[in-house]
């Protein structure tokens, strides 16, 4: 009986985990040794994922519009009562700080995403943050 022994060639190990330096395969999403996230899994292009994204894209501006409409700070700021006016100014200041923070964090995230997409040569550790 002829024994057809097929030797499955082991894929060459071309990379090591940046965290624990164990050899990994370029196809790994997570390091099997330490569990470090090596790369983002591919985005889902399923119908459900598309419907979810499209629905959110439609709903998001509506939610923002309703949230701004519901924000009562403007009424407080226009109030003749100095106490109410002060509350309105504090609320407006908080909203301004929150907006700046969200935009700032968004810019950092975008920069890190771009640097990770361009081969990670300028990784987050080199941004000097």
Closest to Zn ion by CB, 34 or 90: 34
Number of C-beta neighbours around residue 31 at 10 A = 19
In this structure, what token pair is assigned to residue 18?
């940046």
Q: What whole-number distance in Å separates Cα of residue 14 and Cα of residue 51?
A: 38
Q: Residue 70 CB, nearest distance to Zn ion (Å)?
A: 47
CB of 83 to Zn ion, least distance (A): 57
Between residues 36 and 85, which has the closer beta carbon with respect to Zn ion?
A: 36
129 membership: H or E segment, kind and range: none
Chain residues in the site for Zn ion (CB under 5 A): 17, 19-20, 31, 33-34, 36
Q: How far is the CB of 31 from Zn ion (least distance, A)?
A: 3
CA 13 to chain centre: 29
């Amino acid at each position: 009986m002829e024994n057809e022994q097929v030797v499955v060639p082991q894929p060459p190990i071309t990379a090591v985990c940046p965290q624990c330096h164990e050899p990994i395969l370029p196809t790994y999403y997570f390091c099997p040794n330490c569990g470090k996230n090596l790369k983002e899994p591919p985005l889902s292009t399923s119908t459900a994922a598309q419907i979810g994204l499209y629905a959110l894209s439609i709903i998001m501006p509506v939610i923002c519009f309703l949230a701004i409409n519901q924000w009562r700070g403007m009424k407080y700021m226009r109030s003749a009562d100095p106490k109410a006016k002060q509350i309105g100014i504090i609320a407006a200041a908080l909203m301004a700080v929150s907006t700046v923070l969200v935009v700032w964090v968004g810019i950092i995230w975008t920069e890190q995403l771009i640097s990770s997409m361009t081969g990670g040569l300028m990784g987050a550790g080199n941004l000097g943050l």
